[in-house]
Amino acid sequence: MCEQPLYLRPIEDGDIALLEKWLNKPYILRWYEDPAAWIDEIEQRNGSFAFINHFIVMDGSRSIGFCQYYDCYKAGEE
């Protein structure tokens, strides 16, 4: 149960190690098959992946998840 309201904050370079830890958990690997590709995307979030908005989900001061959204048009998807 959440202690405080959940909120999103933009991902920062300091979150990459935590994200890498999350992405390598067996139950996460089912959905995010290639952790290195996700980390590469995060590292290039201000460059070639600038059209994607990356966030860390926060429960108060505790990081509990990752999410993203993007405009499909900008991604070249129809």
Span 6-70 CATH architecture? 3-Layer(aba) Sandwich (3.40)
- Identify the pLDDT of residue 72: 80
In 1-78, DSSP assigns E strands to: 6-10, 52-59, 62-70
- Identify the pLDDT of residue 78: 56
- The letter for the amino acid at 30 is R
pLDDT 10s per residue in the chain (78 long)?
Answer: 656 789 999 999 999 999 999 999 999 999 888 999 999 999 999 999 999 999 999 999 999 999 999 988 776 665
Assess contact for 6 and 58: CB atoms under 8 A: yes
Phi and psi for 39 in degrees, rounded to 5?
A: -65, -40
- Identify the pLDDT of residue 1: 60
Q: Is the whole model's pTM more than 0.95, yes or no?
A: no
